[in-house]
Structure 1
């Protein structure tokens, strides 16, 4: 049971980071802000890396 709760919380966190990163890329493109696009891309890449490496509680 505890493992499932940790998985759901991790999934929500990763999906939120990907959504915010994607929004930052879109808004950075609309405003011609390469810095915001870079931060958004790093957020998406980082969240994806965390999701792929996450093993949960042992």
Structure 2
């Protein structure tokens, strides 16, 4: 395993475009239709927790 790490050392260069793609992927997954019901549930439980 160390030889693999040694071979990869110095060969990794992360471009700013990669960071942009990761950011856009995170934003898209946060507003996806599968996550919206969970957001509503968290907001409702927070509201009920304050007023209970």
Q: Structure 1-normalised TM-score?
A: 0.37
Q: Which has the higher helix share?
A: 1
Q: Structure 2-normalised TM-score?
A: 0.40
Q: Which has the higher contact order (CA 8 A, sep 6+)?
A: 1
